Amino acid sequence: MDTYLVGGAVRDELLGIPVKDRDWVVVGASPEDMLAQGYRQVGADFPVFLHPQTNEEYALARTERKQGHGYHGFVVYSAPDVTLEEDLRRRDLTINAMARDADNQLVDPFNGHQDLTDRWLRHVSPAFAEDPLRILRTARFAARFAPKGFRVADETMALMRQMVADGEVNHLVPERVWQEVQRALQEQAPTVFFEVLQACNALAVLIPELDESRLATALAALRCISAKADATDTRLAALLSPLPARQAEHRAQAMKAPNECQQLVRLTTRCREQLGTLPADTGACAEDLLQLLELTDAWRKPERFDRLIGVLGCVVERRQAPILEQLQQAANTTAQVNARELMAQGHKGKALGQAIRQERLRRIQALLPTH
Ligand code: CTP
């Protein structure tokens, strides 16, 4: 049997970037051979094994053919006679379809090295179309490698458009989509992910609210926050910020984004709407600021509040920037309000709540120039 290093590890090493995990393909072996050598099988019906010492993944060479729509219905054929080239042919992009043999020689039947040098994301074969998740993967690799000059090859973009037109993207389950979106939001140029999805018309299926009238604003906000913060919730909140609050909340929920993300999306859009109602000339009064702090639960969630202020800084109109500054100061000064002191003064129950609010308001008023 022969063992080859494959996929991302070969690609990243050629790009001169750190290799995260290493995946291996084994040719000419049966599951029994692997078990006899101490490998542990992962999953019941998939020929993937873990190395007894390194825990790295060793997959028997396999071909896959799709039956049915979406991510279901793959027929996997794995046997000792499946060649390395057959295994590489079923993969998504040429830059992901290279291997290294035991002598460290590059095995590259689909010219992945040339595409890597020329910065092309190009599909290996028509089998790309059998897995609609690959549209999102390609967009994600575009987002990761755009700073290095990579772009999607024309014929791959054409194939992705065809897949979208055939309705393939409609069959993806939200969990798989979120997994890709979340990873894309962490990439170096996350806006590129959404630009590629827009270019192949998948965005209209996945996030239909981000239509042409809103996309540029959404991407500007995402670009701005990406330069300042890498938390997923801040990036998602920036992306969905141009939507009306209810639509944004609904989308984050439908995407099955984690609660933390859904909450920041909700607060960002609500605050943006709220800030938009303030008079342009006089700005916020103390009561407005206090209500915003109450809405955001700033005292119990100070870190989330800081992230929110960061996102809002990328979202609100320029004329509202001074209000954000005031809001931050209002949060700082009201954080000092000491409930225990007020209790010691005899306030309790509902009256204590009112006294705390009054004290917060008084402190905010003291900050404002009209005071
Ligand atoms: N692959 C594929 N189609 C998919 C998923 C994976 O063709 N839908 C293939 C690609 O050849 C890929 C390899 O399986 O290189 C390993 O997949 P994965 O670990 O998800 O990606 P990596 O390329 O290693 O990238 P990353 O750096 O994001 O882990």
Tens-place pLDDT, residues 29-44: 999 999 999 999 997 7
Give dist(CA 265, CA 246) in Å, integer.
10
Token code pair at residue 156: 């791959």
- Decide whether any atom of ligand 1 lies within 6 Å of the 91 Cβ: yes
- Decide whether any atom of ligand 1 lies within 6 Å of the 62 Cβ: no
Which stretch of DSSP H or E encloses residue 41?
strand 40-42
For 19, phi then psi, to 5°, come to -85, 125
Residue whose pair of structure tokens reads 């996350």 in the numeric block:
190
* Residues 6 or more apart whose Cβ sits within 8 Å of residue 6: 23, 24, 25, 87, 88, 98, 99, 100
Based on the number of CB atoms within 10 Å of its own CB, is 364 exposed (0-12), middle (13-18) or buried (19 or more)? buried
Q: How many CB atoms lie within 10 A of CB 32?
A: 8
- Decide whether any atom of ligand 1 lies within 6 Å of the 132 Cβ: no
Nearest CA to ligand 1 atom 18: 8
- Decide whether any atom of ligand 1 lies within 6 Å of the 137 Cβ: yes
pLDDT for 281 beyond 80? no
Confidence of residue 337 (pLDDT cuts 50, 70, 90): confident
Domains and CATH numbers, the chain: 1-115 (3.30.460.10), 272-367 (no CATH)
- Decide whether any atom of ligand 1 lies within 6 Å of the 13 Cβ: no
**201 Cα: distance to centroid of ligand 1 (angstroms):** 23
**96 Cα: distance to centroid of ligand 1 (angstroms):** 7
**251 Cα: distance to centroid of ligand 1 (angstroms):** 27
**What is the position in ligand 1's atom list of the atom closest to the CA of 131?**
8
- Decide whether any atom of ligand 1 lies within 6 Å of the 288 Cβ: no
274-280-285-287 Cα dihedral, nearest 10 degrees = -20
Residue 192 · residue 150 · CB < 8 Å: no
- Decide whether any atom of ligand 1 lies within 6 Å of the 94 Cβ: no
pLDDT for 371 beyond 60? no
Amino acid at 360: R
- Of 158-162, 313-317, 320-324, the poorest mean pLDDT is in 320-324
pLDDT for 243 beyond 60? yes
**What is the position in ligand 1's atom list of the atom closest to the CA of 141?**
28
- Decide whether any atom of ligand 1 lies within 6 Å of the 133 Cβ: yes
Residue 99 · residue 25 · CB < 8 Å: yes
Nearest CA to ligand 1 atom 20: 8
Residue range 207-212: average pLDDT? 95
Secondary structure (DSSP) of 53-86: TT--EEEE-EEEEE-SSTT--EEEEE-TT--HHH
Give dist(CA 177, CA 281) in Å, integer.
44
Residue 132 · residue 168 · CB < 8 Å: yes
pLDDT for 319 beyond 70? yes
Q: What angle do CA 134, 135, 137 make, to 5 degrees?
A: 55
pLDDT for 70 beyond 60? no
Amino acid at 311: V
- Decide whether any atom of ligand 1 lies within 6 Å of the 23 Cβ: yes
- Decide whether any atom of ligand 1 lies within 6 Å of the 123 Cβ: no
For 27, phi then psi, to 5°, come to -110, 135
- Of 76-90, 97-111, 192-206, 217-231, the poorest mean pLDDT is in 76-90
- The pLDDT of residue 365: 93
Q: Which residue has the higher pLDDT, 339 or 281?
A: 339
- Decide whether any atom of ligand 1 lies within 6 Å of the 144 Cβ: no
Confidence of residue 72 (pLDDT cuts 50, 70, 90): low
Share of the chain above pLDDT 90, in %: 81
pLDDT for 235 beyond 70? yes
Tens-place pLDDT, residues 151-166: 999 999 999 999 999 9
Nearest CA to ligand 1 atom 23: 8
**What is the position in ligand 1's atom list of the atom closest to the CA of 140?**
28
Nearest CA to ligand 1 atom 15: 7
- Decide whether any atom of ligand 1 lies within 6 Å of the 71 Cβ: no
Amino acid at 322: P
Token code pair at residue 257: 């984004």
- Decide whether any atom of ligand 1 lies within 6 Å of the 87 Cβ: no
Amino acid at 37: Q
